[in-house]
Amino acid sequence: MNKLTTKNITVFYDGSKVIDDISIELRQGEIVSILGVSGVGKTTLFNVISGLVMPDSGTVELDGKNITGTTGNVSYMLQKDLLLPYKTIIDNVSLPLIIRGEKKSKAREYTAKYFEEFGLSGTEYKYPRQLSGGMRQRAALLRTYLFSNQVALLDEPFSALDNITKGNMHQWYLQVMEQIKLSTFLITHDIDEAILLSDRIYIIAGKPGKITEEIIIDEAKPRHKDFIVSENFMNYKKHIIKSLE
């Protein structure tokens, strides 16, 4: 059974159709990328899935339940980490639990269990300004996971990082996802990133944005960094570039 499904999602803004008849699915533990150029409607689709935008037509289902237009069902991580500068890392990460009514001491105790798994040990009582960009993104991802461990929407979470840091984050992300098995939709315009991280890729293109192809990345995970220079990787990339053209 699919974890999350969108069925025939269409959205208009100011009389113009932004995305058209989009049907996609996410299975348990998958990482599925939504790949397309800027302005094609990827974030609009995420806003619909998260319940922030009501589609003009179509539905969103989580575990078979219609959640269209309702918030709080899935977690949503934007490109910027949005960590609060005046709170320590453990208090930033604990926010989803505190918002749900948990006492701060209990929230900290529960959250602390994940710091080693997410490579954040020793940062608990530091402030965001004291962390590197990569470490801030780890903290933001842990906060996202604690908001909802069912489905996460990640909107270009690594795009602000330099290439070396991004490469290291990709390897870390693949390892941690093997452990937590979080069902994830990932927005990206980075073809290499999509191939490296994904089980499947949906290509979204055109105006209005439509799903033009689904590509299965049939490679064992976690994937070693040498995969990006393999013949299989290059074949996937050539196919995707041709599809985007």
Tens of pLDDT, residue by residue over 160-170, are 788 888 888 88
Determine the length of the chain.
Answer: 245
The structure tokens 């939709």 sit at 185
**Contacts for 94 with CB less than 8 Å, ≥ 6 apart:** 102, 104, 107, 108, 110, 111, 146
Name the residue ranges covered by the structural domains of the chain: 1-74+149-245, 79-147
Q: What is the model's pTM?
A: 0.88
> What is the rounded CA–CA span in Å between residue 86 and residue 89?
10
Tens of pLDDT, residue by residue over 4-38, are 999 999 999 998 999 999 999 999 989 999 999 88
pLDDT at 148 over 80: no
State what percent of residues in the chain have pLDDT above 90. Answer: 56
Q: Residue 223: what pLDDT?
A: 82
Whether the bond into 208 is cis, omega within 30 of 0: yes
Q: How confident is the model at residue 39 (pLDDT cuts 50, 70, 90)?
A: confident
Q: What does the block give as tokens for 144?
A: 């996202």
Q: Residue 67: what pLDDT?
A: 95
To the nearest whole number, what is the mean pLDDT of the chain?
90
DSSP code, position 209: B
Rg (CA), the chain: 18
The structure tokens 């995420």 sit at 46
- Could you please state the CATH topology (level 3) that the domain comprising 1-74+149-245 is classified under: Rossmann fold (3.40.50)
Q: How confident is the model at residue 214 (pLDDT cuts 50, 70, 90)?
A: very high
Q: Is the dihedral of CA 241, 222, 110, 27 positive or negative?
A: positive
Tens of pLDDT, residue by residue over 171-193, are 888 888 888 888 999 999 899 99
Q: What is the mean pLDDT of residues 130-153?
A: 87
